[in-house]
Structure 1
Amino acid sequence: MKLATGIVASLVIGSLSFRVLAAEELQKDKVKEMNLTKIGTVTTSDTTAPMDAKAEIVKKADELGGKYYVVTSGDKTGKDIHATADVYK
């Protein structure tokens, strides 16, 4: 029980830390509503946890100068997780 509580707590804290100065995830329908411009697409390399894939997407979106991203695909092959996201300004 303590392990599950610790995992949930670290996920919440991790997601809060990404929001401080990082690109924010949006749903696809919000892109048109907010009149955003697509500036590129990013993909993750071999990660083994969803939070690692998210962190890599956020980092790459920030490097492109994006403020928002929309995850367009995700795949798990064995232990590896791959994700693709469109980046917007």
Structure 2
Amino acid sequence: MKITRSILFAGLFGLSCSLTAQAAQNISKEEIQHFKLTKVGSVSVSETGGLISSPMDLHKEISKRADEKGAKYYVIIAAREHGPNFDAIADLYN
């Protein structure tokens, strides 16, 4: 019974942590207007030495940087593939 309780507790703890730690989300320009969001800054991702080699990696990095600045949402305003890198500029919103 102790093992079952431990597993249950670990699962519930993991679930509660995942619900409280949400990453910034990519949204559309239309959603900015619809939800009346406020711009709180911008971020850029460039010169990564090949570390950002896919669109998914790019979104993860932008989300991470948005989180660091306290933003809940981001909109990519410019992006390009440059050799082995993906570069982008994104506006941040709350």
Counterpart residue type for residue 76 of structure 1: E
What is the TM-score when the length of structure 1 is the normalising length? 0.73
Q: Helix, strand or coil: the match of 2:53? A: coil
- 1:28 is matched with 29
Alignment of 1:1-89 (within 5 A): 21-45=22-46, 46=48, 47-89=52-94
Whose Rg is larger?
2
Report the more deviating stretch, 63-72 or 43-52: 43-52
Report the alpha carbon displacement of residue 32 of structure 1 after superposing the two structures with TM.
Answer: 1.0
- Structure 2: gaps (5+ residues): 1-17
Percent sequence identity over matched residues? 41
Q: Which runs of 4+ in 1 moved over 4 A?
A: none
**Aligned partners of 1:21 and 1:84: how far apart in 2?**
21
Superposition TM-score, scaled by structure 2 size: 0.69
Which blocks of at least 5 consecutive residues in structure 1 are unaligned?
Answer: 1-16
Q: Distance in 2 between matches of 1:77 and 1:68?
A: 25
More helix by share: 1
- Which amino acid is 1:25 matched to? N
Query: Can you list the C-alpha shifts for 1:28-79, whole angstroms capped at 9, x where unaligned?
Result: 1110110110001111132212111111100000011111111111011111
Distance (whole Å) between structure 2 residues aligned to residue 21 and residue 42 of structure 1: 18
